[in-house]
Amino acid sequence: MSDQFTRMKLGPSRRRFLQTVARAGGAAMLPASFGMGEAFAQGANDTLVIAAPATPQGLDIEFDVSLGSIDSLGALYEYMLGYEKIPDPNAPDAQREDTSVHADKPNNMALRGRLAEAWEVSPDGRKATFKLREGVVSNWGNPFTSKDVKWTWDRKFNAKGQGLFQTAVLGLTSPDQIKIEGDHAISFNLDKPSPILLKQQCNLANPIYDGTKCAAVGASDDPWAINFLKNDSAGFGPYRLSQLVRGQQAVFEARSDYWDTKPAMKRVIMREVPQSASRFSLLQGGAVDIAQFLQPREMEALKSEKNVAVDAVNASYMIWLELNAKIAPFDNIDVRRAVNLAIPRDEIIRTIYYGYADPQTAPMPYIYPMVDKSFFSYQYDLAKAKALLDKAGVGKGLSTTLSYNAGDPTQEPIALLIQTSLRQIGVELTLEKLPAGVFYENVTKRAKPMIFYLDSPWTPDPGYSLYLYFNSKSYVNYSNYNNPAVDKLITDGLATLDNSVRMPTYAEVQKTLMDEAPWGFIAYPKYTLARKANLKGFTYYSSNNLRFQDFTRS
């Protein structure tokens, strides 16, 4: 009876309250839903709307190489040189950079001038002189001169960011090696010839800044405009930054004073949509033109959509396991070999990547010149793996930890497949899921015995790629691999322009690396793009980024 009284006392008012809340909530949802639709609805045909995992956190390549940032670079900045484009053999609507060796072309490369109109490399390969294009202005209206190139490369020495690697890999030790030869001429003077000097002028990591603007905004307390370039741009690219609201969107407007062909897409909206399922839905519903970095399963599902096209091209991405040579048991070469024999690559590519990857069979991207896949000998063989573990004296009850990135949805299932496979040969893996920030901290600290890594070397050159990951002094040598003979071969190959010398040198390096297995070689994920079917012009770049100026609408 008391409960009935209680219901009488509270029920009607509680019911009334709940009804009121429901009505208010529904009313509040309506404008929000219209607002959302409006936010995502496309305007004119010359507006490109991209659903991206993240907006640029910083616009300065010196300190930020995150996904949103690298897509912005190609729009805001221009480079000294670029590669010629060729049709992609796997995607009929797509093009790609031609990074192959061409013995019949100048410098054996298919290059085209961008900010550099012409160039000449001295016979000894130690000096490259660039004649710069006249009549180019920055997004701040400042004319492009050799001072801008000089300022850009001086900054690499002084800003203490990734630019130090860019100078080191060229053998540059002083800013004095970059000399102004005239208002529109500049030279790079090296102690030793470098086969990647011209390639580095195409590298996304080496944009040319408007030195005049940067010097003006930097003043004495920020002479290298670090604070300015984090949030704005000063470059010669086809777009200018119109709006940046981190966590929400970035808007780019095409420049009417751009020196080259004006982009067809006058306006680009990069909207942050962290979940790939949401990006998938937006593209499926026609609310965006491009949905970046969808999961392989989602790409597969989009193939059947009428108004959507899916491009998948061979790329410079590699995913591998860093087997830390300074932490047991991976200080033992036979254990590393055993792990490689027990990685179920075909299963991973079928189950996790849905075929949008190829097995990794070399220690460098398979699309780069001089890659040699003939040394791969780790076809799946558990018996051989077990025998190697026995030989290493760890045949019974070996256990270790495999760490992976919680922010990468492919890594956990790959880890599970590897764990199941290794369990069959008596290796018990404890899987350690790390939040993204903690994950990268552990990678750079080289703190874990076994950890995933997904990366791509941006310059399509064997010396660049192998130096980056396997030179014992390289910051990115996260597996602590140390072989002085390999160091010498890599360095020798970076000091000659003669491809007839480079090729066998790097073949020897690759043979040694495959034999000594500093990595657990897994796969070459393809670069995939899900876009509206009427959006054309996709071009694949070895830096794995989009350039908005490529796109047109059919």
Partner 1 sequence: MLAKLRLFARLALVRPRFAAGYVIVVVVTILAILAPVIAPFSPTEADSLSFLQPPSSAHVFGTDNVGMDIFSRAIYAPRIDLTIAILGTGLSALLGGSLGALVGYYSSGQGIRVWLSFALMRAADVLQAFPIFVFAIALVASLGQSIQTVVLAIAFVNAPIYLRLMRSQVLSIRSMRYVEASQVNGLSDFQTIIRHVIPNAMGPVLAQLSINVGWGIVLTAALSFIGAGVRAPTPEWGSMIAMGFQNVVTGQWWPSMFPGTMLAVTVFGFSLIGASIEVLADPAKRRLLLTDVRLRDIARAAKTAKRASLGQG
* Residues lying near partner 1 in the complex (CB under 8 A): 1-3, 275-277, 280-281, 295, 297-298, 300-301, 344, 347-348, 350-352, 406, 409, 412-413, 415-417, 419-420, 423, 430-435, 438
Select 254 or 530, whichever has its Cβ closest to partner 1. Answer: 530
CA-based nearest residue to 148, from 176, 178, 169:
178
Rg (CA), the chain: 26
Select 45 or 275, whichever has its Cβ closest to partner 1. Answer: 275
Distance (Å, whole) CA 142 – CA 75: 18
Name the strand (E) or helix (H) holding 214: helix 211-218
Q: C-beta of 281: minimal distance to partner 1 in Å? A: 6
CA-based nearest residue to 84, from 259, 170, 202:
202
Select 1 or 32, whichever has its Cβ closest to partner 1. Answer: 1
Q: C-beta of 285: minimal distance to partner 1 in Å? A: 11
Q: C-beta of 435: minimal distance to partner 1 in Å? A: 6
Helix, strand, or coil here: 114? coil
DSSP state at residue 235: B
Q: C-beta of 405: minimal distance to partner 1 in Å? A: 9
**In Å, how far are 53, 444, 476, 520 from 408, measured between CA atoms?**
12, 17, 20, 18
Q: C-beta of 258: minimal distance to partner 1 in Å? A: 38
> Is the Cβ–Cβ distance between 101 and 499 less than 8 Å?
yes
Select 65 or 416, whichever has its Cβ closest to partner 1. Answer: 416
Q: C-beta of 297: minimal distance to partner 1 in Å? A: 5
Distance (Å, whole) CA 378 – CA 391: 17
Q: C-beta of 321: minimal distance to partner 1 in Å? A: 16
Select 209 or 353, whichever has its Cβ closest to partner 1. Answer: 353
Select 353 or 470, whichever has its Cβ closest to partner 1. Answer: 353
Select 434 or 497, whichever has its Cβ closest to partner 1. Answer: 434
Bridge partners of residue 82, in order along the sequence: 112
Helix, strand, or coil here: 388? helix
Distance (Å, whole) CA 340 – CA 325: 14
DSSP state at residue 375: G
Q: Which residue has the tokens 């590519």?
A: 349
Select 1 or 44, whichever has its Cβ closest to partner 1. Answer: 1
Q: Which residue has the tokens 């307390």?
A: 221
**In Å, how far are 140, 145, 208 from 219, measured between CA atoms?**
17, 21, 20
> Is the Cβ–Cβ distance between 453 and 405 less than 8 Å?
no
Q: C-beta of 437: minimal distance to partner 1 in Å? A: 9
